[in-house]
Amino acid sequence: MFKDIFQKKQKKKYIVVPQNQEQTRKEIPDGIVIKCKKCQHILYTKDLEKNLKVCTQCQYHYPLSARERIGSLVDEGTFVEFDAEMTSSNPLSFPEYEEKIASDQKKTNLQDAIITGKGMIESYPVVIGVMDPSFRMGSMGSVVGEKITRAIEHSLKTKTPFLLFSASGGARMQEGVLSLMQMAKTSAALKKLDKAGLLFISIMTDPTTGGVSASFASLGDINMAEPGALIGFAGRRIIEQTIRQKLPDDFQTSEFLLEHGQLDQVVHRHELKKNLATILQLHQ
């Protein structure tokens, strides 16, 4: 059929549009159209970007980079980044760690797996941290732990609500037990925030697992998640190996957690800003 030929041709001949620096890393491949990785529907890249990277057909939420997330939520011109230059050392002299960090820095244009700062959401001041799943799978080492802790301390000092978007595979192996201890450090800071009566909203995005799930991400006064996000303590493969049975498809999704009483809300990306603003307003 003529139609088939046309489609094939189009597939082969992608036109590469120039990308700005924030989009150098591609969850969504370069091109005018892409096939949704969930529902296989063909989408215009432009439409997808306009739709906050949510598939217009199946509502699959593509991962957002930390900068995209901040851009989509924080009032224009209000964001001030904290600790922008902080980077990882190699405290255990772990083989190939420095190379991996350097390569991800180049690939993502980030220093590490999180951006923290302050800004306004619908004119409400917030301190905000946003993890980026494309940097070492969003894993938490000393830099992530320290930046979160400092952000919480800033929130405490300025009596401002704290928001954290998690997207992480867990603790960063290459920093060993130092990564594990970041769980205790960030949680201890959250205890101070809690005692001071300040609001902490945790927003879990795909994926929020392991040590991040078992520390700050679960400690919000309100814990919410984006639809379809993978959220859990142990990895799926580990559980399957341990119990020797296959897990259902929806296991460890946002919806599964909501059903089991582990989340306050599952919120569509389009509703997120409004939802956050309402919560902030109710805590003024």
| Contacts to other proteins by CB under 8 A | 80-89, 91-92, 94-95, 141-143, 145-146, 149, 171-173, 175-185, 187-192, 194-195, 210-211, 213-219, 231-235, 238-239, 242-243, 247, 251-252, 260-262
| Cα 128 to Cα 82: distance, rounded to the nearest angstrom | 10
CA 222, 61, 20 angle in degrees (round to 5)? 110
Quick one: 71 or 91, whose CB is closer to other proteins? 91
Query: Which lies closer to other proteins via its Cβ, residue 27 or residue 153?
Result: 153
Interstrand relation of 162-168 and 124-131 (parallel, antiparallel or unpaired): parallel
Residue closer to other proteins (CB basis): 40 or 242? 242
Please identify, using beta-carbon distances, which residue of 17 and 84 lies nearer to other proteins. 84
Which is closer to other proteins, CB of 124 or CB of 216? 216
Q: What is the DSSP letter of 19?
A: -
CA-angle at 167, arms to 165 and 233, nearest 5°: 110
Nearest approach in angstroms of CB 37 to other proteins is: 24
**C-beta closer to other proteins: residue 10 or 187:** 187
CB of 242 to other proteins, least distance (A): 5
Smallest gap from residue 121 Cβ to other proteins (A) = 20
Question: At closest approach, how far in Å is the CB of 262 from other proteins?
Answer: 5
The closest of 181, 179, 160, 159 to 171, measured between CA atoms, is 179
d(CA 77, CA 87): 25
Least spacing, CB of residue 100 vs other proteins, in Å: 11
CA quadruple 230, 165, 49, 275: dihedral positive or negative?
Answer: positive
Cα distance between residue 42 and residue 27, in whole Å: 16
Question: Rounded to the nearest 5°, which phi and psi values hold at 142?
Answer: -60, -40
CB of 10 to other proteins, least distance (A): 37
